[in-house]
Amino acid sequence: MLHYRTRRGSYHDSIVLMQLRVALADLPGIDDAGAVMGTPSNLEILRDGGLLPADLEDLAPDDLLVVVRTENGADEGQGDEAATAALDRVGELLARRRAESDADYRPKSLASALRMLPEARWVMVSVPGRYAAEVAREALERGRNVFLFSDGVPLEEEKALKETAAERGLLVMGPDCGTALVAGTGLGFANRVRRGPVGLVAASGTGLQAVAARVHALGSGISHALGTGGRDLSAEVGGASALRAIELLGRDPATGVLVLISKPPSPEITARMLAELAATAQRAGKPAVVCLLGRELPFRRIGPLRFAGSLSEAAALAVDLAGTNGSLPAPEESPHPGSLRGSLRGLFSGGTLAQEALLGWTALFGPVESNLKAPGSVPWDRSRPATGHRLLDLGDDALTVGRPHPMLEPSLVAERLAEEARDPGVAAVLLDVVLGDGAHPDPAAVLAPAVRQARATHPELEIVAVLIGTDLDPQDLGAQRHRLEEAGARVVDDLPAAQESLYRRCGPDSEPVSHPIDPSALEAPLAAVNVGVESFHEALIAQEAESAHVDWRPPAGGDERLASILRRMSATAAEAS
């Protein structure tokens, strides 16, 4: 049987309600319990769990609902007694929870909390999602950085918050940012780790925790670990927080190695993120480690960037670079010396080589048109001229109908190369030259004149040839290399070397961060105002950080219409003053 009580206008955060539910469920005669604020989504959760009373009266979002279910097998009288005893203890349990927390004065608003703790550079927001953007916006307007734990914030609100932060030289971590470490102090759910030279930027909360914990276990430490929220690296948000966090850690003297952790971002954002990370690393003379979870890339190093296939590998790489003082050479004016602007073209006779190159290109350069498939690739439309990057497997069945495979006869590669050279928007062409038994007896005899003609047509065109062969091959590896280089091609031995060459010449430019974040945001000791989950305030105090906890309640008791009227009145009063 279900028994319940309501408390009008009695707001409590989710952690307190979880603890209340557990305490009630442990009482004699109680089979299960629920304690929620009276929002439609919370009532739906109770319904799914079989804990929603059929005769429940209407509730406001600011009303507390406590439900207990008595054990099966108990007679009605015993069940009523157990339920009554449990519900009678709700007030006691909530009072005990409050007594266990800080008994000092608690401000009722963010403004009064900041007057109480003016040195706070951070505001931690963990109120329900429908209120979170408003609290975060007020924090930004008051010149504070925001750790936004709340989820359920609309995408448009997230974009607007991050635009405001950028204009004011501030950082928004989140929404749905579960973890951060600032100057040795954990925000949200964070492990205790020693301080050290490794700085993390992560769109994955548990990924951040895993790398930070592993760095600690390997004997190094974390300078700062800045979360971004899971949607930050989407095409819609554009990596707004991650880009600013990278720039901030690049200027931070306590950070010696940069680490970027993310689930696979959108292709456009991946390329821009890597360009910014490479530029920051080069400018600051700090190596950087990249771990794109679930996306194995076909290279381990590009310029100042090292790529890890797993969280553990990312931690080990970072610790190794920090331990060996792995600083970069003196900063260059550009991370891509002699940069070429324009599109890339890939002309491959080897299908596997083409696939591997495509995986790298989509990460480094953004979307790539291709007759192969990879994350970030766009299907090749033969009826339209390419307007961006394009990589083709010329050995594909659809292109070899009625003619030999290009490893047998490279004339198709030569023809395509001439076509690409006629396009002034093409900056570079990557092609493979594969030697060995069964292949064309002298591919340079066909390709070297094509390279020479392409360079004559388009003098600034960069042509990179991956030469696959050995000194035992019948085509004479050294002679093939010499003739291709003499014609004007840059010849490399493998794809990673080709990717490195192309990225240095053709990689996307980084965009300078406007209104850089004040580095005092990372200074110790940390001071923060906490709005929402009370245990986050208690965690700060336990770490010997300064914290003021706002005794927050939903505006106007959760009445959205009345709250909207109050906001307009407040805005009018502010304009008048």
- Residue 324: inside a domain, yes or no? yes
Residue 335 binned pLDDT confidence (cut-offs 50, 70, 90): very low
| Cα gap 53→441, rounded to integer Å | 83
Residue range 27-68, pLDDT digits in tens: 888 888 888 888 887 888 888 888 888 888 888 777 888 998
Mean pLDDT over the full length of the chain: 86
| Cα gap 107→86, rounded to integer Å | 32
Which tops the pLDDT comparison, 505 or 418? 418
Amino acid at 482: H
Regarding whether 414 and 404 lie in a shared domain, the answer is yes
Provide DSSP, 241-268.
HHHHHHHHHHH-TT--EEEEEES---HH
Residue 334 binned pLDDT confidence (cut-offs 50, 70, 90): very low
Average pLDDT, stretch 339-350?
Answer: 83
Regarding whether 491 and 392 lie in a shared domain, the answer is yes
Regarding whether 486 and 535 lie in a shared domain, the answer is no
| pLDDT for residue 398 | 86
By the 8 A CB rule, do 349 and 432 touch? yes
Residue range 217-233, pLDDT digits in tens: 999 999 999 999 989 99
Q: For residue 292, count CB atoms less than 10 angstroms from its CB and return exposed for 0-12, middle for 13-18, buried for 19 or more.
A: buried
Average pLDDT, stretch 358-387?
Answer: 87
Amino acid at 448: A
- Residue 514: inside a domain, yes or no? no
Average pLDDT, stretch 414-437?
Answer: 94
Residue 9 φ/ψ, nearest 5 degrees: 65, 30
Does 146 have pLDDT greater than 90?
yes
Does 480 have pLDDT greater than 70?
yes
| pLDDT for residue 572 | 61
For residue 46, list its beta bridge partners: none
Which tops the pLDDT comparison, 275 or 157? 157
Does 558 have pLDDT greater than 60?
no
Please report, for the chain, how many H helices and E strands are present, in that order: 18, 23
| Cα gap 200→254, rounded to integer Å | 12
Record the tokens describing residue 565, joined without a space. Answer: 């009227």
Residue 330 binned pLDDT confidence (cut-offs 50, 70, 90): very low
| Domain end residue (candidates: 335, 351, 378) | 335
Regarding whether 300 and 368 lie in a shared domain, the answer is no
Residue range 262-298, pLDDT digits in tens: 887 877 788 888 888 988 998 889 999 999 887 777 7
Does 309 have pLDDT greater than 90?
no
| pLDDT for residue 339 | 52
Buried b / exposed e along 474-489 (16+ C-beta atoms within 10 A): ebebeebbebbbebbb
| 3-state secondary structure (DSSP) of residue 16 | helix
Residue 337 binned pLDDT confidence (cut-offs 50, 70, 90): very low
| pLDDT for residue 481 | 96
By the 8 A CB rule, do 260 and 289 touch? yes
* Cα angle value 239/240/243 (rounded, 5°): 75
- Residue 224: inside a domain, yes or no? yes
Residue from 434, 424, 425, 500 nearest 468 by CA: 434
Regarding whether 170 and 181 lie in a shared domain, the answer is no
End-to-end CA distance of the chain: 57
By the 8 A CB rule, do 167 and 543 touch? no
Residue 85 binned pLDDT confidence (cut-offs 50, 70, 90): confident
| Cα gap 225→171, rounded to integer Å | 13
Regarding whether 54 and 195 lie in a shared domain, the answer is no
* Size of the chain in residues: 577
**For the chain, what is the domain count?**
4
Which tops the pLDDT comparison, 101 or 72? 72
- Of 107-116, 168-177, 368-377, 498-507, the poorest mean pLDDT is in 498-507
Regarding whether 359 and 499 lie in a shared domain, the answer is yes
- Residue 295: inside a domain, yes or no? yes
For a pLDDT cut of 70, what percent of the chain falls above it? 89
For residue 530, list its beta bridge partners: 124, 549
By the 8 A CB rule, do 252 and 227 touch? no
Query: Parallel, antiparallel, or unpaired for β 179-182 and 185-188?
Result: antiparallel
Amino acid at 502: L
DSSP code for 197:
S
| pLDDT for residue 271 | 84
| pLDDT for residue 76 | 63
Residue range 490-548, pLDDT digits in tens: 999 888 888 887 887 776 666 767 788 988 899 989 999 999 888 899 999 999 999 99
Per 3-state DSSP, what percentage of the chain is helix, strand, and coil (rounded to 5)? 40, 20, 40
Residue range 310-324, pLDDT digits in tens: 889 999 999 999 985
Residue range 4-37, pLDDT digits in tens: 888 887 777 777 888 888 888 888 888 888 888 8
pTM score above 0.85: no
The CATH number covering residue 148 comes to 3.40.50.720
- Residue 284: inside a domain, yes or no? yes
| Cα gap 312→317, rounded to integer Å | 9
Residue from 308, 305, 284 nearest 295 by CA: 308
Regarding whether 412 and 288 lie in a shared domain, the answer is no
- Residue 319: inside a domain, yes or no? yes
Residue 371 φ/ψ, nearest 5 degrees: -90, 5
| Cα gap 208→11, rounded to integer Å | 32
Regarding whether 488 and 348 lie in a shared domain, the answer is yes
The CATH number covering residue 83 comes to 3.30.70
Regarding whether 171 and 185 lie in a shared domain, the answer is no
Record the tokens describing residue 254, joined without a space. Answer: 């306590």
Domain that holds residue 456: 343-506
Residue range 289-304, pLDDT digits in tens: 999 887 777 788 888 8
- Residue 229: inside a domain, yes or no? yes
The CATH number covering residue 322 comes to 3.40.50.261
| Domain end residue (candidates: 308, 335, 362) | 335
Query: Parallel, antiparallel, or unpaired for β 185-188 and 145-148?
Result: unpaired
- Residue 518: inside a domain, yes or no? no
Regarding whether 193 and 313 lie in a shared domain, the answer is yes
| Cα gap 31→70, rounded to integer Å | 5
| 3-state secondary structure (DSSP) of residue 60 | coil
Average pLDDT, stretch 183-188?
Answer: 94
| pLDDT for residue 382 | 84
Regarding whether 275 and 168 lie in a shared domain, the answer is no
| Cα gap 553→576, rounded to integer Å | 27
Place of tokens 């390279």: 451
**Sheet with strand 2-7: strands edge to edge:** 2-7, 64-70, 30-37
